Amino acid sequence: MNTASSSSNAAQSSASTASNPSKSLKTFGENIWKTKTAKVNAELFTLTYGSIVSQLTNDYQRDYAKINNQLYAMGISIGTRLIEDFVARTALPRCENMVQTSEVISKVAFVVFLNINPQVTNWSNNKDAFSLILDENPLSDFVELPIDAMKDLWYSNILCGVLKGALEMVQLDCKVWFVSDILRGDPHTELRVKLNRVLKDEIPAGED
Amino acid sequence: MAIYSFWIFDRHCNCIFDREWTIPADSSSGITNSKQNEDTAKLIYGMIFSLQSMSRRMSSKSNTVRTIATGKYRIHLLSTITGLSFVLFSDLKQQDLSQLLQYIYSEIYVKYVARNMLSPIDYAENDSEKRGQGFRKINNRNFIKAVQDVLGPMVNQ
């Protein structure tokens, strides 16, 4: 969610990098973060997000279910736009399966936008659902939830919305939700992504 | 090198932007987002769509068409994985303008359309405007100006 603009040159085509195994995907992501991403102060970002959540808490009179939904909806509208930024910057080809998708998300997308590298674990048997473990989460630095929020608020729920919106734009209809959060006293912050179905590309009327 | 026209199609098979230059000597001539071009846009999309699916069938799924040349002109094509197609018509002298299209995508489209939170990102508002039946266009002044600034000087070269 670092919205600062990339440097002036057009993104170099990187199809060759992308077809290499996952190890180079990591260096690829780090390179984009280093060379094509303008940096902003992380604390400014953390505090901006904090003030959004606290404003929502006031507006919805501490109805945390509504706040979660609102953050999720905001995330979706960010994600549908952010994906264009991401695709333009990386020029990666479409992923063929969820394993590839998970690697691009953890090794490129999170690195490029937040400079964090979540772990991918807990694969479901048919490889359509996985978890991202966010050991460091810049959204929730400095944050301590009040007692009444601990049970119901998913503080970083905007991330779920962003992933949902972005994946939908590349024809992956997914369900994205938080399983646990350090802020709520859990040992990890775990975000779960589950593929519902792969959407079909539209074809012009009369072509079917 | 000369450029004749520039088109953008979205993932709903709609033409969301068109710019056609008519007089080579005058780079500001021609039409933008014109109703007259509706049928031409459908023809262009149909041609690209067919060639695209043909090339995919003949090799892997991620294969995409980049240029199409005829006796009179060459078409340059950039398809993104989010379903956008950027299409540029030029004369035959130019071999490959994919860098230019990538520039237009990442520095103009992303900057003036995707990051413009109050302008729509999806130009089909309901199901009846999908599958090539839509009519909405990118009418964003900054975007139109930036496209003209980049492509205008190349109209007559």
- Kindly report, residue by residue over B141-154, the tens digit of the pLDDT: 888 888 888 888 78
With beta carbons less than 8 A apart as the criterion, state whether A64 and A149 touch: yes
Q: Which of A11, A81, A202 sits opposite B11 (nearest CB)?
A: A202
Instruction: Enumerate the domain spans of chain A.
Output: 22-198
- Comparing alpha-carbon positions, the chain A residue that sits nearest to B64 is A93
Question: B3-154 has which CATH code?
Answer: 3.30.450.70
Q: Which of A10, A77, A170 sits opposite B81 (nearest CB)?
A: A170
Instruction: Enumerate the domain spans of chain B.
Output: 3-154
Inform me whether the C-beta atom of residue B42 falls under 8 Å from chain A C-beta atoms.
yes
Looking at chain B, list the stretches that DSSP marks H as alpha helix, in order from N- to C-terminal side.
38-58, 98-103, 141-151
pLDDT of residue A6: 36
pLDDT in tens, A173-208: 999 999 998 888 888 899 999 999 988 888 877 766
Nearest CA distance, A110 vs chain B (angstrom): 19
Backbone angles phi, psi at B89, to 5 degrees: -100, 130
Inform me whether the C-beta atom of residue B62 falls under 8 Å from chain A C-beta atoms.
yes
Contact list, A104 vs chain B (CB under 8 Å): none
pLDDT of residue A161: 94
Q: Mutation test of the interface with chain B: which of A87, A96, A208, choosing the one with the most B Cβ atoms within 10 A? A: A87
Contact list, B63 vs chain A (CB under 8 Å): none
pLDDT of residue B2: 85
pLDDT of residue A207: 66
**Can you list the residues of chain A whose pLDDT is less than 50?**
1-19
Judged against a pLDDT cut of 70, whether residue B17 lies above it is answered with yes
Q: What is the pTM of this model?
A: 0.84
Is residue A100 classed exposed, middle or buried when 0-12, 13-18 and 19+ CB atoms within 10 A define those classes?
middle
The C-alpha atoms of residue A40 and residue A109 are separated, in whole angstroms, by 17
In CATH, which of 3.30.1380.20, 1.10.1040.10, 3.30.565.10, 3.40.140.10 is domain A22-198?
A: 3.30.1380.20
Contact list, A89 vs chain B (CB under 8 Å): 106
Specify the range with the lowest mean pLDDT, choosing from A9-23, B34-48, B68-82. Answer: A9-23
Judged against a pLDDT cut of 50, whether residue B13 lies above it is answered with yes
Cα angle: A70, vertex A79, B14; to 5 degrees: 115
